Structure 1
Amino acid sequence: MSSDAPLILGFDTSAPHCAAALLRGTEILIQHQEDMARGQAERLMPLLEETLAEGGATWADLDAVAVGIGPGNFTGIRISVSAARGLALGLGVPAIGVSSLEAQAFGTAGVVVSSLDARREGLYVQVFGTLTGSQPGHCTLDTLPSDIPAGTEPTCLGHRANEIAALCAGTVATARYPVAEAISRVAATRLGRIDVPPPAPLYLREADAAPSRDTPPALLDD
């Protein structure tokens, strides 16, 4: 892979993990994913620095940063989104937000039903690969999106995929890429576009009553 190919640092803390990947063109140079229920705020920047160092790069080499915007853990999303916006401002590079649902579906052909755990029997669901497109939503197994095309045998990925597949006559598969790699690859398809807004948290339900022990940093305004 040419050293002139765009270099993208992607990361995500929208779930109980801290994940990062370094993408050069179409090649993943290095990636890490550490499971953790809390502590992402303290771990994220050291992990990004380690990822850059192991990939033989520095902050100044980056052409963009890519970040998971959720849906998922409210505090975790704010941690990574605010970090991405701060890095973009400091480095003078674009920050590109990618939803967790899109990252999970990326690289899977045909109609895809991507689902994530929203807790309390809830699901975050989005349908990809249809002509009309679909918006992400919060639902249950009893209230799945009505825009899953009949007769398409969609591929179902993620939380409770087996049950969703049974309800919509689909098949079950696993995500093609780890989350940080997928975020980086989706961002690469958007690099250079002028219609990409700054990343912002994607919240699809109200926050739980009990606050997280991690205090999220404030989001930076452009």
Structure 2
Amino acid sequence: MPDLTLGFDTSAAHCAAALLSGDDCLVSRHEEMGRGQAERLMPLLEEVLAEAGVGWRDLTRIGVGIGPGNFTGVRIAVSAARGLSLSLRAPALGVSITDAAQFGSEGPVLAAVAAPRERVYLDGFRTAQAIPLDLHELDALPEGLAEPGLTCIGSAAEEVAQRIGSTAAPAAFAPAEAIARIAASREFIPGERPAPLYLRAADAAPPSDPPPRILD
């Protein structure tokens, strides 16, 4: 049997998974949900495996979306991937959601993924000038992003393309399938584990009240 790669992602308002057998996608599931990913992820993965007629021990590799995205969602998926990797002794590889968005595309691409509060994650691929992954305000996008042949891809592609005078295109693959395909093709470095990719501090702030006094 060809290598089996399980990819999944909960970095946005969805719970998604895909199973590859070599280059063939056996099962792909994508469920939109604003919350509940922690409860839904493992049952969804079990359903994907069952639909393909395979078990956990048949997996040879795991791919997981590491963000950037929702803090809790990223932690859910990364923790699951680490636990599965340890228990199954199968390598787990982290894939950024912007890399997944542009996977399968050609030419210069600006991956544009929606972020909360009218912001967007931008990441350039094969662009004339380097466009490093970063978080930007939609109303204050950097100048000089557009270039000949540039295509915007991702959940915020239409809006970004309109603002910079470029074109938008759909992703070649659903997020989980792209993650699985990238993980299947990427070299695994022993000892490396998936880690959350955060570009901003958590929204939750520590309490401003002083700590309680401890009396002897």
Fold equivalence (TM over 0.5) = yes
1:103 to 2:100 alignment: yes
* Equivalent position amino acid for 1:126 in 2: D
Displacement of 1:209: 3.2
Q: Secondary structure of the equivalent of 2:112? A: strand
Partner of 1:199: 194
Indicate whether 1:135 and 2:135 are aligned.
no
SS in 1 for 2:8: strand
1:21 equivalenced with 2:18 (yes/no): yes
- Alpha-carbon displacement from aligned partner over 1:86-111 (angstroms, at most 9, x marks no partner): 10011111001011111111111111
Q: TM-score, normalised by structure 2?
A: 0.87
Q: 1:164 to 1:138 in 2, by over 3 A?
A: same
Pair 1:209-2:204 in alignment = yes
- Aligned to 2:48, the other structure's residue is in SS state helix
Distance in 2 of aligned mates of 1:185 and 1:175? 14
- C-alpha distance in 1 between matches for 2:172 and 2:57: 30
Contact 1:67–1:183, Cα closer than 8 Å, also in 2: yes
SS state of the match for residue 116, structure 1?
strand
Alignment of 1:46-195 (within 5 A): 46-130=43-127, 134-145=131-142, 148=145, 151-190=147-186, 192-194=187-189
Q: Which one has the largest radius of gyration? A: 2
**Aligned-pair distance for 1:115?**
1.1
CA offsets 1:19-54 (integer angstroms, 9 cap, x no match): 111011110001111111111111111111111111
> 2:75, 2:196 within 8 Å by CA — same for their partners in 1?
yes
Indicate the percent of aligned positions where both proteins have the same amino acid. Answer: 54
Contact kept in structure 2, 1:96 and 1:196, CA below 8 Å:
no
Q: Is the Cα–Cα contact under 8 Å of residues 7 and 18 in structure 2 kept in the other structure?
A: yes
Equivalent position SS for 1:52: helix
Q: 2:33 pairs with 36, 59, 62, which one?
A: 36
Give per-residue Cα distances to partners, 1:177-210, cap 9 Å, x unaligned: 11111110111120x4337831111111122238
Change over 3 Å in CA distance of 1:99–1:147 after alignment to 2: farther
Give, in whole Å, the separation in 1 of the partners of 2:103 and 2:14: 20
> Runs of 5+ in structure 1 lacking a partner?
211-222
Compared CA separation, residues 145 and 98, structure 1 to 2 (3 A): farther
Q: Is the Cα–Cα contact under 8 Å of residues 161 and 172 in structure 1 kept in the other structure?
A: yes
Q: What is the RMSD of the two structures over their aligned residues, measured on CA atoms?
A: 2.2
Show structure 2 runs of 5+ residues with no match. Answer: 206-216
Equivalences, count: 206
Q: Distance in 2 between matches of 1:67 and 1:147?
A: 32
**Range moving further from structure 2, 156-165 or 20-29:** 156-165
Change in CA separation of 1:132 and 1:59 when aligned onto 2, cut-off 3 Å = farther
Cα distance in 2 between the residues matched to 1:143 and 1:197: 36
1:131 to 1:23, Cα distance in 2 relative to 1, 3 A: farther
